[in-house]
Structures are given as C-alpha cells and as structure tokens.
Amino acid sequence: MAKKYVYFFRCGKAEGDATMKNTLGGKGANLAEMANLGIPVPSGYTMSTEMCTVYYQNKGKFPPELRTAVDKAMARVEEIMGQKFGDPANPLLVSCRSGARKSMPGMMETVLNIGLTSKTIPGLIAKTNNPRFVYDAYRRLIQMYSDVVMEKAAGIEPPEGQGIRHQLEREMQKLKDAKGYKQDTDLTADDLKELVETYKAKVQEVLGKPFPDDPQEQLWGGIRAVFQSWMGKRAVSYRRIEGIPDDWGTAVNVQAMVFGNMGGTSATGVAFTRNPATGEDVFYGEWLPNAQGEDVVAGIRTPNPLNEATRPPDPEHAHLPSLEKAMPAVYKELHAIRDKLENHYRDMQDIEFTIQEGRLWMLQTRVGKRNGPAAVRMAVDMHKEKLITAEEAVLRVTPAQLDELLHPVLDPAAEKQAQAIAKGLPAGPGGACGQVVFTASDAVEWVKQGKKVILVREETNPEDVEGMRAAEAILTARGGMTSHAALVARGWGKCCIVGAGAIHVDAHAKQLTADSTVVKEGDWLSLNGTKGVVYLGRLPMVVGSEENPYFTAFMKICDKVRRLGVRANADTPEDARKARQFGAEGIGLFRTEHMFYGKGAEEPLFKLRKMIHSKTAEERRKALDELYPHIKADIKATLEAMDGLPVTIRLLDPPLHEFVPRRDDERQRLAQSLGITMEELEARANALHEVNPMMGHRGVRLGITYPEISECWLRGIFEATAELIKEGKKALPEIMIPVTCDVSELRDQAALTKKVHDEVAAKHGMKKIPHLYGTMVEIPRAALRAGEIAQATEFFSFGTNDLTQMTYGFSRDDIGAFVPAYIDKKLIPADPFQVLDPIGVGELIDIGIKRGRATRPNLKVGICGEHGGEPNSVKFCHKVGMNYVSCSPFRVPIARLAAAQAVAEENAAKPKKGGRRVEGDK
C-alpha cells in the first residue's frame, strides 16, 4: 500500500486525532481532535511530518503520490466548503501553516489567502460585495508570500530592515502618510487596489520575478516554503535551545480560509483557557476586529481584551472594547468551546479563533505555554477541581518552572523609591536589571562579555530568539500578551514586559525615550515583570520571599507522591533553618570544616591552625582542647535548629594544608602563640605540602593518623547531643566518616566512637546517646567492598563529587580545561559533576547499594554530592532505591518535585488497561 502522507479533516470527522502528534504535528493533531469533537474548524488537510523528512531526503523534490493525495483532499475541502480552488466565480482560498510535534511559536512560516489571482479576485468581489476586503487579503498574500516563499525559502538573506516584507510595509506606510491615515483600517478599497499594484512592481524590482498569478503555483510554493522553514535560521536556533531534534520535521496544514477582516462583524483573536502569566482560572485573551490572525500575534496593533474580567487596569486600556461586550453571542459560544476544550484536554489550552461575519471558527488549540508561577497554580487548581490526579499535577511543572518561584524579584522597598518611566503588560513575571541593548545580536555579544542586558525592541520579532534567550529580560513598546515575545519569554520563565506604549524605541540611534527621559544603549533599567513596570537605573533584587500559597500547596502534592526523602546540605544553624523552611527532612551533610570559613571563623580557625602546626601529640591535644568548645557549640546549634530531625555530621575531611595561613601577619601570630620561630613554622607548614592532596592525607586518614582529631569531633557530637537531651530538647546525630575505602578504617574509627560515646554517656548518667554510625561512599573501592563495609556501618551516603572524580579520573577542580571540549564534541552528554553519570558512576552506586543491603537489609542510603539537587540525578537516586537525597537548601523544592516526578513517570510508563497511547505528548 502507498504511504499515507495526507490526512483530511472537517467539522465532525477527521482521519487523525490528538494522539497522532508525531505524524500530524501538534497543530494538525489538535485540528483533527477538534474536528472530531464537533467544534467548528474550517475543513482542510495535513501533510505528515514524515513528508518533511522525505522532502529533505529527496533534496526538495515531492513524491508524485503526494500531488495525487493533495488533489484528492482539496476536492473534499471544496465539496464541504461549496467553493472551488482557482474557480473564477466561486474561489476557495486556503492557508498553509507549519506545525511541529512540539510547538515552536513564531519560528516557522505561514502563508494566508492562497488562491487569489487576477482571475479569482473579480469573482470574490462579486460574491462578497466587499472589494476592500478582497484587496486587503490580496496585499497580505503578496506581503507574506514574497517574504516567506520568494525570499526566505529561496535562501535570500537581505540586510536587516531590507527584506521584501519591510520594503512593502514601507510602501504601505508611504501611502498612509500621503493620505493622512493613522490605521491600516483607514485604507479604502481604492487605496488597497493601488497598493497591490505598487507591491507587485516592488516584488518584481527587488526579487527579479513576478508575483505568481497561478493558484497551484501559489499552493505548492507555500507548501514548499513551510517545509523549508523547518531548516530556517530561527527554527534551528529555537530547536537548539529547546533540545528539539532536527529529524522530527514539521507537518503542513492546508485549510480553507475564513476571514476576520470582512468588516465590523468579523474579527480574529488568540486566547488562553486560563491566564498563562498567573495561572488564574479566568478566560484570557486578545482580539482585534476586522483583522487577520497575524495582526494579533505579530504585535502590530495593541489588541483589545477578550472580556471585562481581564481588562488591564491602567487607563491606557480603559477605552478598548472587549469581545464580551462587542459580540456577546459569539463570546458565549467561544466560552462554551473554552470549557469543552479544557475538560477534554484537562490542561490549559492556547487557542486561535476567527469570526467571519458573526460566525465563529476555531483555527487552533494546543497546550498553552506558561511560566513557573502559572504552572504551579494551574497544577494545584486543576488537581483541586479533580481535573487531574496528584501524579499528573507533579508532571505539569518542570523543575525549571519551579525554580522561577525561588528566583529574585526587585526589592519592594527600593521599588517604592524608584522612578517608573513606563508601564506595559506583565508578560513574564519576576524582576530583572540589566543594561539596555537594542538588537538581538548586541544582546548575545554583550552577554558573551559577561554583561547583563535587557533587550528593548519596538515590537516583538521571532527572529530575535537568540538575543531574547541571552537577555535577562525583554521589553517591547508594542504587542500584547499573546505576542511572540510574550509567548517565548513565558515559556522560558523570563521577565518580560510588552506593549509599554509610553516608550519610543529608536533602534537606529540606539536609544529609547519615555516622555522626557532618554535611555541610551548601556544604561541600566530595572523591570518588574509581575506588574509590568519599567524603572530607570539598577534596583537591588531580593529572593521572592513572599509566601505563595500555591507553591506551598504544590509542594504538599509532591510530598504526597514521592517516596524518596529530601534533606539538605547545611553547615550553619542559619542554613539549617532555611533548609527546614524549604521542606528538608534532615541534614544529609554537615561539613564541619565550614565553621573555619566565613563569618565568626577567625577564632576557631586560629585554633585549628595551631592544631595543624603542632608537632607532638601532646601539642596537638592542647590545641584541640582549645578548639573543642567551638566545635561543640557549632554542632549543638545546628542540632538544635533541626529539632530532632537527623543531622549527618561529617568528621574533618579536607587535607590539612588547606588551612595553612598565607599572610605574614597571620603566620607571625601563629608562631608566637606556638612559641616557635618563623623558620620552624615554615618548616612545619612545608611538611604538610602534598603533591596530590585530593588523594592525600585527608578524610578518615586524618583520624587514623591522629586519632585525637576524631576524638575531639566525636566528643563534640556526643556532648552536644547529651546536653540538648538533658535540656529537654531533641537531637539525632548521624556520625559520618569521610573518604573511606575499606571496612578496616571504619572498624578503627568505630572503636574510637564507642570509647568516646561511653565516656560522655557515663559523664551525663545516660545509658545511650542516640546516634547512627556510617560512612561516605566516594571512592570506587568503597562501592565495590560495600558488602563488608555495611558490617560496620548503619548508613551510606554517596559522595558523588569525589566518586565522579575518582571514577572518571577527572580532577573536580581542573575540569574547566577539558570538559567543555568533551561536551562540545558530544563525547559526553553533560558535565558529570552536574548531572550524575548513570552508567559509570551510577553502576558503582547500584553495586554499592545492592552489596551493602545484602549484608544489612535496612541499610539507610543517601547521596550528598552536588547531584542531590539535580532533577535527572534525583530520579536516578529514586530508581536505585536510595532513602534520601541531600542538596543545598535552595534546591530542596526542586529535589522534592523531581522525586515526585520519578514516581509519576514510573507509574505512567506502566501499561494501562484500555488507555490510549499518546504519540509524544508536550
């Protein structure tokens, strides 16, 4: 049987459905689904994504069977619509649109009004009795077609502002200026008739070819251009950023045209079934009367609000008519479709519609892009509405989206004092500061130089995608919430303000003006994307500390779903408190040496240095006695802050030479205090030098060679715990021995632990001081010998920083010189110090857990390397059966989400009875 490349659809019936995204692309699959649901969609057909691949394989040639299939499908569309493509008396016009598996807003091409020629124009005028509409449609066709088909698809790359589309726009502006018109809609039929002649002459002049006057040539030119746009610059950039594979291809949708530009009872609009910037459950959108779709999304005119509930509050928008008021019956019908679609898809939809002479047509539905706060709120609300399960809810928010809620906003106190220069639509929330640039390429360039920039544009332009990505935030003078910039920025969770009408952008002079204020390239602006306010200068930022009830509710859903525990790596009582606020269930790594860095570290550090520079055990013990009160106090404060939650306290880990003072005054003070000469101090410091300190005298090796060091730490832990318990408080330390490779080391330190425990317990009259005894697993040998090691330990914590270092043999401190090249050349998929290597390091972890639990079935296992907060690594930890992950406090919510997603994904992958399989959703 011949391959099926073309799928037909009409209201009530379609050859495809929403599950066929891989074949029909998102747009095609959803058009088919809407058709099957009986929603009014103009009839049409979809050419499959596979055809795109064939097109490229055949070097741009279409197989003959495609033409036959297209002719057949076109005949069916003609029959349904009661019109004929190319017919002089009753012509059918079609649109030709792209549609990949995953939506790529504005990145590929569209041609509308295909089929208008010198032969069909008179027929359409006679039929519609509306010459203005016909010539308006024709000028749009010439504009789009010459740009998309004759220029871009032909590989012509004119300099910025010199493209045919711009040249034609300038012709239109010239005509408007000459006639004293403000709006495109002021142009009369005669004006437009004159304009199309100017356009045709310009196309011939600039591109050296006439604009085609044959409907079939227009159709196939359009189809070819859409396939061609898959490899267009913008689309390729976007795919690279979003990680979409090149071989997916795009589908092409050819569909009967319906017109929003047929007069006052016609309109076009874009809407979201809920507010995509906040997640609020209100129907949200924008529309324009007497316009075609691209007028709304291209930000050419600032559109009207869909309804009264979502009208922007500022006076600039007060006069704009809402669809709810202007066309109440159509609005009611649209609202009913909104409800139907949301209930059917069980997710927020992004829809496009056209009203032709009072009749509503749906042109598109797709899962709507949203930012982090909106994603979280929708997941919570939809779960509460019983539209989705808890597991579905956790899959609705990506870790990056959740991260947005933990990100900085402008400091509200500073904002009150600041000078606002403009207000626009809050398209992407959060705060941002940066230096102003006016072109996408400058944005990329400046960011490469380490600067933070705000990209300012007159209107939104999908060709700016790389610059938008690089910028901290985006600001435009024109456009609405559904414009390309707003969609793309929102998808990336980027701060974005659009339609700030008070600013005038002069990209040529590289400056903007807002009233009397002039802002030049390089000046600082601060944006509040949540409110849509632009400030002059650089305002301070604060981490979004406002209590967000949806965030809290969402985290509760995650906690209900996940099985993996989540702890934090915290080294101070403040960190411990922060960790608990973020929902940590304990501390998985307390690096005690951190008390020797940072605030208040001077005294303990001096005493530690004395200990390090001691020569005899006697001297060392004396120095340790001085150090001891600091250690105990630090441990006690952190245990107290965690209020009985487990705290994994690691004994001293780093090589001692790290603490040797470098400054002369410090050395002098130290020599004095030790009663030795500077030469002697120098000699002792030199003796600590190691060739390879990462594999040198560190970790448990310090405790083996200087048991008094371990003893000091152990005493601090037991004393702090005993004191807290006697004070009526709760404390649960877990003693962790670092950098071990053999059970013998752990037995050695266990004996010491028991001795100190018994002494402290006796002193306090206690039988047992609660604690666990365990080890880090961060040397490959420890993972391999885990079976024996578990005989002497009650828990393992995988130190994947060192384990990665020693498994790869990549020095964790020196990877900058070579790992980027490995990633560039695709020799490794990612930096293994950021994303856990599941097959090498991961295999060692798997072996370690299995062997450990074979000895001790209830062995507690966690991870405390940096990977503990990286979503993919967290999912790996779930899969291999760890009890918990531990990460920095700010990453705790991300880890809780990733742990919940691990469960949800696991269950979603299980075969379901009677469920239908979806070809690559979202």
| Residues near Mg ion, by CB under 5 A | 778, 799, 802
Q: Which is nearer to ligand PEP, 151 or 778 (CB)?
A: 778
591 is a site residue for ligand PEP (CB under 6 A): yes
862 is a site residue for ligand PEP (CB under 6 A): no
The token pair that represents 678 in the structure block? 């500077």
Segment interacting with ligand PEP, rule: CB under 6 A, options 449-457, 682-690, 719-727, 800-808: 800-808
Segment interacting with ligand PEP, rule: CB under 6 A, options 53-61, 537-545, 744-752, 794-802: 794-802
What minimum distance in Å lies between the beta carbon of 835 and ligand PEP? 14
321 phi/psi in degrees, rounded to 5: -75, 140
What minimum distance in Å lies between the beta carbon of 793 and Mg ion? 16
Q: Which does 442 bind (CB under 5 to 8 A by kind): ligand PEP, Mg ion, none?
A: none
The continuous run of DSSP H or E covering 268 comes out as strand 267-272
Contact in structure between 101 and 90 (CB atoms under 8 Å): no
d(CA 567, CA 862): 9
Q: Which does 745 bind (CB under 5 to 8 A by kind): Mg ion, ligand PEP, none?
A: none
Contact residue for ligand PEP among 653, 711, 748, 837 (CB under 6 A): 653
Contact in structure between 803 and 865 (CB atoms under 8 Å): yes
What minimum distance in Å lies between the beta carbon of 801 and Mg ion? 5
Q: Which does 800 bind (CB under 5 to 8 A by kind): Mg ion, ligand PEP, none?
A: ligand PEP
Q: Which is nearer to ligand PEP, 279 or 832 (CB)?
A: 832
Q: Which is nearer to ligand PEP, 799 or 871 (CB)?
A: 799
Q: Which does 634 bind (CB under 5 to 8 A by kind): ligand PEP, Mg ion, none?
A: none
What minimum distance in Å lies between the beta carbon of 801 and ligand PEP? 3
Per the document, the length of the chain is 922
What minimum distance in Å lies between the beta carbon of 834 and Mg ion? 16
106 is a site residue for ligand PEP (CB under 6 A): no
Contact residue for ligand PEP among 391, 802, 837, 870 (CB under 6 A): 802
Q: Which is nearer to ligand PEP, 18 or 887 (CB)?
A: 887
Q: Which does 398 bind (CB under 5 to 8 A by kind): ligand PEP, Mg ion, none?
A: none
51 phi/psi in degrees, rounded to 5: -60, -35
d(CA 757, CA 404): 46
Q: Is 887 a catalytic residue?
A: no
What minimum distance in Å lies between the beta carbon of 863 and ligand PEP? 8
Q: Is 11 a catalytic residue?
A: no
Q: Which is nearer to Mg ion, 136 or 802 (CB)?
A: 802
How does 728-757 read in b/e, with b if 16+ C-beta sit within 10 Å?
eeebbbbbbbbbbbbbebbebbbebbeebb
Q: Which is nearer to ligand PEP, 561 or 652 (CB)?
A: 652
Segment interacting with ligand PEP, rule: CB under 6 A, options 216-224, 411-419, 443-451, 799-807: 799-807
864 is a site residue for ligand PEP (CB under 6 A): yes
Q: Which is nearer to ligand PEP, 235 or 589 (CB)?
A: 589
800 is a site residue for ligand PEP (CB under 6 A): yes
Segment interacting with ligand PEP, rule: CB under 6 A, options 302-310, 607-615, 796-804, 830-838: 796-804
What minimum distance in Å lies between the beta carbon of 29 and ligand PEP? 45
Contact in structure between 585 and 645 (CB atoms under 8 Å): yes
801 is a site residue for ligand PEP (CB under 6 A): yes
Q: Which is nearer to Mg ion, 516 or 692 (CB)?
A: 692
What minimum distance in Å lies between the beta carbon of 895 and ligand PEP? 15
Point out the catalytic residue in the list 383, 484, 613, 771: 484
Which residues contact residue 97 at a Cβ distance below 8 angstroms, ignoring those fewer than 6 apart? 27, 110, 226, 252, 253, 255
Contact residue for ligand PEP among 428, 799, 871, 889 (CB under 6 A): 799
d(CA 309, CA 278): 14
The continuous run of DSSP H or E covering 375 comes out as helix 372-384
- CB atoms under 10 Å from CB of 597, counted, come to 12
- Closest residue by beta carbon to Mg ion: 802
Contact in structure between 823 and 856 (CB atoms under 8 Å): no
Q: What is the DSSP string of 681-721?
A: HHHHHHHT--SSGGGSS-THHHHHH-HHHHHHHHHHHHHHH
- Candidates 777, 774, 784; CA nearest to 859 is 774
Contact in structure between 487 and 369 (CB atoms under 8 Å): yes
d(CA 96, CA 291): 18
Segment interacting with ligand PEP, rule: CB under 6 A, options 345-353, 511-519, 594-602, 793-801: 793-801
The token pair that represents 875 in the structure block? 């999912």
What minimum distance in Å lies between the beta carbon of 804 and ligand PEP? 8
Tell me the site size for ligand PEP, rule CB under 6 A.
10
Contact in structure between 249 and 104 (CB atoms under 8 Å): no
The continuous run of DSSP H or E covering 79 comes out as helix 64-81
What minimum distance in Å lies between the beta carbon of 425 and ligand PEP? 45
CA 63 to mean position of chain CA atoms: 39
d(CA 280, CA 272): 11
362 is a site residue for ligand PEP (CB under 6 A): no
265 is a site residue for ligand PEP (CB under 6 A): no
Q: What is the dihedral of CA 442, 445, 448, 454, to 10 degrees?
A: 0
d(CA 553, CA 755): 47
- By CB under 6 A, the residues from 148 to 187 that bind ligand PEP are none
Q: Is 369 helix (H, G, I), strand (E, B) or coil?
A: coil
What minimum distance in Å lies between the beta carbon of 800 and ligand PEP? 5
Token pair 């952190």 is found at 638
Which residues contact residue 371 at a Cβ distance below 8 angstroms, ignoring those fewer than 6 apart? 276, 277, 401, 404, 428, 429, 490, 491, 493
Contact in structure between 18 and 32 (CB atoms under 8 Å): yes
Q: Which is nearer to ligand PEP, 270 or 777 (CB)?
A: 777
652 is a site residue for ligand PEP (CB under 6 A): no
865 is a site residue for ligand PEP (CB under 6 A): yes
What minimum distance in Å lies between the beta carbon of 832 and ligand PEP? 12
Q: Which is nearer to ligand PEP, 88 or 840 (CB)?
A: 840
d(CA 439, CA 328): 42
d(CA 239, CA 249): 11
What minimum distance in Å lies between the beta carbon of 581 and ligand PEP? 22
Contact residue for ligand PEP among 136, 778, 788, 870 (CB under 6 A): 778
Q: What is the DSSP string of 143-200?
A: HHHIIIIIIITTT--PPTT-SHHHHHHHHHHHHHHHHT--SGGG--HHHHHHHHHHHH
Q: Which is nearer to ligand PEP, 848 or 865 (CB)?
A: 865
Contact in structure between 517 and 409 (CB atoms under 8 Å): no
DSSP-derived pairing of the beta strands 732-737 and 646-650: parallel
Q: Which is nearer to Mg ion, 357 or 593 (CB)?
A: 593
Q: Which does 44 bind (CB under 5 to 8 A by kind): Mg ion, ligand PEP, none?
A: none
Point out the catalytic residue in the list 433, 495, 558, 864: 864
Segment interacting with ligand PEP, rule: CB under 6 A, options 362-370, 452-460, 756-764, 798-806: 798-806
Q: Per-residue x/- mask for ligand PEP, residues 218 to 237, rule CB under 6 A?
A: --------------------
Q: Which is nearer to Mg ion, 650 or 878 (CB)?
A: 650
Token pair 């300038």 is found at 170
Rule CB under 6 A: which residues touch ligand PEP?
Answer: 589, 591, 653, 778, 799-802, 864-865
Catalytic machinery residues: 484, 864
